[in-house]
Amino acid sequence: MARLMSGFPPTPELQVALANWRKHPYSQWSFRNVRQIIPTAPIRPSASPKPLVEDLHSIDGTSFEGIDGKETTVRDARLASFTDGMLVLRGGRIVSEWYNNGLDPVTPHICFSVSKSILGTLAGVLTEREIIDPDALVIDYLPEVKGSAYETAKLRHLLDMTVGTSYREEFNNPSLDLLRYRSATGWDPQQPGMPEADLRKFLPTVPLGSDPHGAKVNYVTPNTDTLGWLFERACGRPYAQLLSEFLWAPMGAEVEGSMTVDPFGMTRPGGGISATLRDLARFGEMMRRRGLANGQQVVPGWWIDDIRRNGSVEAWMHGCMTDAFPIAQYRSKWYNLGAPGGAAFCGVGIHGQWIYIDERAETVIARFSSQPDPMDLPIDHMWLRGYDAIARRLSS
């Protein structure tokens, strides 16, 4: 990994490019250098950030069940799971901060689908300001989606991933729709024989399925990109600017983040955000505190209450994600784990990106990784046990 992109120019086997940036080991370099691979838009930080206070404790020896069923520790699990960085807050103070693979406190790292949870939070701000209505039809804002699955869907269906569509997101067996989508985002090289596309051309082609809207959770990343486009239309400003204005700057972010953009400059809210580990933890801490950050109410508390208390258990149980979390609810792009009213909720991205929030333990855990596989359930389940063990240790 240390030799990737070394030399002037790098030799072919050390070159990280659009064709290999999400493949291991190239991802150990590219996930913290996305701006050198794909065009991006900036997410401006606060002009007067509030530094995080350190109250360091050693959690390295905290033990829990590992991947193989044997006992492991935080120290060993980090190394065994391709972790690039991990930060733990207790009561808003840094109790543990660890970096690997060239990452450091001021270098952004892509958070993939944790980007969705950020959008779901921004939705609360826009709803409070009466800029959007979650119960309205998508087509009321975006007439371009006529003829697609979104024509008859409400914003709430997109927020909760309950759009009835035949689109499927299987990373190991990609459908033609998924290949077209990846090309439209600008994340993959143009496929031979496929027409050149961009997100605003692709999203109105997402097909309607046989299930009614609201019946079950069907994880479809284009839902989130469509909402990002809708937010731009409703506000008359680019999505990255909205994030800065309504979330990143007021919560006190320290370092400029970024979002990938397609060939025509549309950002990818479904997975394209890069941020520092500290700013991601700040965001998680704001969620833990019901929207309070940097001395102000950034996100309405009632919206976060809705995230925590609502979401259909039945839709989850009929959906496609029960292998990951057997019992959960999905609300406004956040996962509520276990039975309704449980202590923990989280945002999760492929290749091992996490925000884990345990309200009762006053604990927030942010983690970046370059796991080789997009979905690695043994690692994810190990870390769920690990996060719980850390929270219990800190609250004991």
Q: What is the dihedral of CA 341, 86, 80, 390, to 10 degrees?
A: -40
Q: Beta-strand (E) ranges in the chain?
A: 40-43, 63-65, 71-73, 83-90, 93-99, 109-110, 257-260, 273-275, 292-293, 296-297, 328-331, 334-337, 344-349, 353-358, 363-369
Digit-coded pLDDT (tens) for 344-367:
999 999 999 999 999 999 999 999
Q: What is the pLDDT of residue 213?
A: 98
Q: How confident is the model at residue 221 (pLDDT cuts 50, 70, 90)?
A: very high
3-state helix, strand, coil in the chain (%, to 5): 35, 20, 50
DSSP 22-63: TSTTTHHHHTT-GGGTS-EEEE---SS--PPPB-----TT-E
* 205: nearest Cα among 268, 147, 162, 161: 147
Hey, what's the torsion of the CAs at 253, 236, 308, 384, to 10 degrees?
-50
Q: pLDDT per residue over 80-106, tens digit each?
A: 999 999 999 999 999 999 999 999 999
Provide the pLDDT for residue 390: 98
Residue 305: how many other CB atoms lie within 10 Å: 12
CB burial class (10 A; 0-12, 13-18, 19+) of residue 133? middle
pLDDT band, very low/low/confident/very high, at 69 (cuts 50, 70, 90): very high
Sign, CA torsion 211/214/215/221: positive
Say what the pLDDT of residue 12 is.
93
Q: Is the pLDDT of residue 338 over 90?
A: no
Q: What's the whole-model pTM score?
A: 0.97
Confidence category of residue 176, pLDDT binned at 50, 70, 90? confident
- How confident is residue 339, by pLDDT bands cut at 50, 70 and 90? confident
Question: From residue 335, how far is each of 42, 237, 307, 339 by CA, in Å?
Answer: 27, 28, 9, 11
Tokens of 169: 């997101």
281: Cβ–Cβ under 8 A, 6 or more apart, which residues? 52, 87, 89, 94, 355, 364, 366
Q: Give the integer Cα–Cα distance in Å for 293 and 247.
A: 10
| Residue 227, phi then psi, degrees to nearest 5 | -65, -40
Considering only the C-alpha atoms of the chain, give the largest distance between any 2 of them, rounded to a whole number of Å: 60
Q: Confidence band (pLDDT; 50, 70, 90) for 170? A: confident
Query: Does pLDDT of 391 surpass 80?
Result: yes
Structure tokens given for 274: 């890069």
Share of the chain above pLDDT 90, in %: 90
The more confident residue out of 192 and 302 is 302
pLDDT, one tens digit per residue, over 26-40 is: 999 999 999 999 999
User: pLDDT tens for residues 222-247?
Assistant: 999 999 999 999 999 999 999 999 99
Is the dihedral angle over the CA atoms 375, 377, 378, 384 positive or is it negative? positive
CATH of domain 31-395: 3.40.710.10
- Element holding 77 (H helix, E strand): helix 74-80
Domain ranges of the chain: 1-30, 31-395
